[in-house]
Structure 1
Amino acid sequence: MDKHGSVRRASRKPGERHAANFVVVSWLDLTISIGLTFIVGAVLVWAAIRVIQPAPPDTLTIAAGPEHSRFWYAALKYQEILARNHVKLNVLVTSGTLDNLKRLSDPASHVDLGFVQSGLNRAPNSIPTEPRHAGLISLGTISNWPLFVFYRGPQLTRLSEFDGKRLAIGREGSGTRQIVRMLLKASGVDPEVGGQTQPIEGEVAVNALLDGTIDAAFLRDDSARPWLMQKMIRDPGIRLFDFTQARATIRIFPFLTQFEVPMGAFDLADNLPPESETTIATTIELIARDSLHPALSDLIIEAAGEVHGGASLMQNAGEFPAPVAHDFPLSPDAARYYKSGKSFIYRAMPYWLASLVDRLIVLVVPIVVVLIPALRFVPPLYAWRVKSRFRRHYGELLALERKVSDDPSERNYEEFSRRLNRIEKHVSGLRVPLAYADAFYTLREHVSYLRAQVEALRRADDV
């Protein structure tokens, strides 16, 4: 301020210029714009992947059966095979296939798959009903489970002829007991009347039959050990029951199959049995919860082929596993596997790598749907960031103009001049992309215009 009280115009130093500082591209703004777009896109892609196909778990639990039973040993083989692919399989000891089904049906038990005989998901009467356990799927049939009936006395041809006899039909809660009770009831025999059924099986039942304590023993799977059946069939007083009504039985109970015991199957040298006999069999299915990951479904069925695919007295080589399901729907992933096998990437790569590649392929859809359209927002976002610098200064200019117009005091003029010089200096120092040179020069022109307007107002006040 001079001695007359007027505000001295701020003077520039000699040679000082406010030259434009143009660049081809504002890399900072471009990086931030692209970065924000990709961050939002990545979040959306991650959410899509989690919804579409989460990563397969590396730990599973299988409900097997009693310790040292046939399927307990089978589960241990599954455990060994899955471990090759870095998947841990916990083997759960249970009381049998009926217990396995109960555990699978209860999500709180955290059982992922188990061995379940066909027919257990039916009501305990002569007519099959609709499945009662939701959320379960079948990975296919892995084994036959024939029913062998040994009895003493005259030849019998129908199950109804066992009425009034003492019968060993398996322990309480076993799948064998439930199936036999269904067959007896369908044949008009009430197993609850007269205490004629006994909850024994295996060697105990065989010894009771040999001793004459019981009249017939119904044996399956672990109870029907080859040496036990040889022991009985060599006894002249014991016969192997021939299911003459097998065809009618499997029509009534579609989950059952007809099974032929070939002549000499138990002893070729002595030709035991001396002629072919017909019996019926249930099948064992590998049941899983419907949340089982597709990649693990393939791995488990492949393991089932290695464990159950060999030839034996009960089956032909390669007969199992098979895409046959009775009580539960066949898994779509299992159906695809039985039809065309593993996908190319799982055939060509290790499981862990194929699983990763498979999930990366899933990325293609979210990238095409989300990220590529999102790139369209980069130019507007970039332009918004560059122009926001100019808009911020326009706000400052508007506030200065209003302040000095409302109170044209010397103090406000001095403050106005100082702040306007600072704005002008800051604007001149901006690194502005060439594409926005018009906005840059327009702002500088408006700064000069505002300075001139306020100077004119100041001169008017002095007059």
Structure 2
Amino acid sequence: MKRPPLPHDHSRRIVHDLTWTIGPFVLACALAIALVVWLIDPAPPRSITISAGQTDSSLHQIAREYAKILARNGITLNVLPSDGSVQNLERLLDPKAHVDLALVQGGIASREQASSLMSLGSVAYVPIVVFYRGKGLTLLSQLEGKRVAIGREGSGTRVLSLKLLEANGIAPGGSTQLLPTDGLQAATQLVSNEADAVFLSGDSATRALMLRLLKVPGISVMDFNEARAYTRLFPYLDDIELPPGVLDLGRRIPPETVHLISPTVELVARPSLHPALSDLLIEAAQEVNGTAGILQRAGQFPSPVAHEFPISEDASRYYRSGKSFLYRTLPFWLANVADRALVLLLPVAVLIFPALRLVPALYRWRVRSRIYRYYGALIALERGAMHLSSDDERRALLVELDYIEESLNTLKLPLAYIDALYVLREHISFVRSRLVTSTTKDSRIVSMSK
């Protein structure tokens, strides 16, 4: 009879059972965590880049202020100078530019370009202010055939000015001479009669420059009486006002309310921007852009009102409910670690709760399966005893039974399963007694026959 494959060294069996029972569960948890880290990438980068305006522009100064605030939380904001909003948008759309966000004026992006980016909110007005020689100008169409400074090439002022003029029937190549100048240079051309009208916006339309132009005899500022119509035709425009005296209270300049149209500067980012950094940037914008000015009330910016770019879900959540509890109560990096831990624990918890019921059952099955192997060998031996034809075969079965019992003597089980071990010993003794009794009876029968 072939000897059953029973082990004689059980010294490491308990550790082996625990390893093969808990090991797959631990491996599954590790794979779940690795998958979450790979898919969600919860760790925010410590350095990001923003494309701002020229080094002497207000947009560049705003970005520098953002950088100071983010530095408090250990985030480095690299401020990249640019020629203006057009180049800022181009950098955001170019994967090779390695720019994470930018300050972009409304009115320069196509619908397709805007859909591939996201906005963290509007942070400032950049109104279009039209100064002209003479009086009584109420429509942009009245500039037909005149010399008009509409901003330098690549500027957001030029892009928006061309759109507004085109809506009023004035296009490049016609009778109207479109001059590529802005700011102080355009104002100088207007004063020296080298231009009939100028479009000023953003840094060009400073309070000081507007006051200087309004003090020059023969120069007026256009009142956009149709401002509401412009906001309907161009959704990225707002209708704003210059109240009487807002530029100079003592001299009441302007003497009457001046209606203006204005796009906003939006803080635009790529969709890959980390949510924690989105919160920090909006918080910085509230500190930098939330003060009152001649064009805005305190707390008006940053604003979640959608203009040209869709507001991100993270920004909408921040404007609706503010920072989460962790970020309100803990330092940024500690809150981030806690937030990441929660994100990682969720998929692990999905595995843990079923495993709490599955692991004990799996361990119990592994322990009992070792005992069942002995029962299998014992049953095979007992069946062999039913077909004995000689004493040599019977003695061979007793040797096999000794082998089973010898292996069993080295078996180590947890205390909770010791009862099964003693039951097995009783069954081995039962089989042995049957073999011995059968041997004795056979001997008596042989003696009597002699």
Two-structure CA RMSD over aligned residues (Å): 3.8
Separation in 2, partners of 1:388, 1:31: 16
**Paired residue for 2:99?**
111
1:361 to 325, 328, 342: 342
Structure 2 distance, partners of 1:26, 1:227, is 85
Verify the 8 A CA contact 1:141 1:284 in the aligned structure 2.
Answer: yes
Q: 1:165, 1:392 → 2: CA distance?
A: 103
- Against the structure 1 CA distance between its residues 239 and 42, is the aligned structure 2 distance closer, same or farther, given a 3 Å change threshold? same
Q: Rate the CA distance shift 1:64–1:421 in 2: closer, same or farther, 3 A.
A: farther
Tell me how far apart the structure 2 counterparts of residues 366 and 384 of structure 1 sit (CA, whole Å): 27
Structure 1 position 56 matched with structure 2 position 37: no
CA shift for structure 1 position 100: 1.6
- CA drift of 1:389 comes to 4.1
Does the aligned pair in 1 maintain the 2:190–2:198 contact within 8 Å? yes
Letter in 2 for 1:88: T
Are the counterparts in 1 of residues 135 and 219 from structure 2 also a CA contact under 8 Å? no
Question: Contact conserved, 1:208 with 1:214, CA < 8 A, in 2?
Answer: yes
Paired position in structure 1 for 2:147: 166
- So what's the TM-score if we normalise by structure 2? 0.81
Distance of 2:397 and 2:114 partners within structure 1: 81
Percent of aligned pairs with the same amino acid: 48
SS in 2 for 1:65: coil
Within the candidate set 70, 76, 87, 1:88 is matched to: 76
Q: Is contact 1:131–1:327 with CA below 8 Å preserved after alignment?
A: no
1:143 match: 124
Note if contact 1:45-1:370 (Cα within 8 Å) is conserved in structure 2. no
Q: Which residue of 2 is the match for residue 6 of structure 1?
A: none
CA separation in 1, counterparts of 2:400 and 2:144? 111
Corresponding residue of 1:334: 315
CA drift at 1:315: 1.2
Decide whether the 8 Å contact of 1:53 with 1:359 is kept in 2: no
Greater shift in the superposed pair: 385-394 or 74-83: 385-394
Task: Name stretches of at least 5 consecutive residues in structure 2 with no aligned partner.
Answer: 1-9, 383-393, 443-450
Q: Report the AA paired with residue 244 of structure 1.
A: N
Q: 1:189 Cα deviation (Å)?
A: 1.3
Q: Is 1:377 matched with 2:358? A: yes
Contact 1:38-1:371 at 8 Å conserved across structures: no
Q: Secondary structure at the match of 1:173?
A: coil
User: 1:309-335: CA deviations, max 9, x gaps?
Assistant: 111112111111111111222222222
The C-alpha deviation readout for 1:417-441, integer Å capped at 9, x for no partner, is 9998676434302212344446545
Partner of 1:404: none
Q: Note if contact 2:143-2:176 (Cα within 8 Å) is conserved in structure 1.
A: no
**Deviations along 1:263-311, whole A, 9 cap, x unmatched?**
2333333333333322211111111222322222211111100010111
Counterpart of 1:205? 186
Q: Do residues 251 (structure 1) and 235 (structure 2) align?
A: no
User: 2:327 maps to which residue?
Assistant: 346
CA contact (8 A) 1:105 1:134 kept: no
Contiguous gaps of at least 5 residues in structure 1: 1-20, 123-129, 402-412
> Matched residues in 2 for 1:179 and 1:414: separation?
107
Looking at structure 1, the residues matched to 185 and 372 of structure 2 have their Cα atoms a distance apart, in angstroms, of 94
Distance 2:236 2:212 in 1: 30
Cα offsets for 1:437-456 (capped at 9, x unmatched): 46545766787869998xx9
> 2:270 and 2:113 mapped to 1: Cα distance?
14
TM-score normalized by the length of structure 1: 0.79
CA distance in 1, matches of 2:57, 2:400: 91
Distance 1:75 1:255 in 2: 22
What's the CA shift for 1:120? 1.9
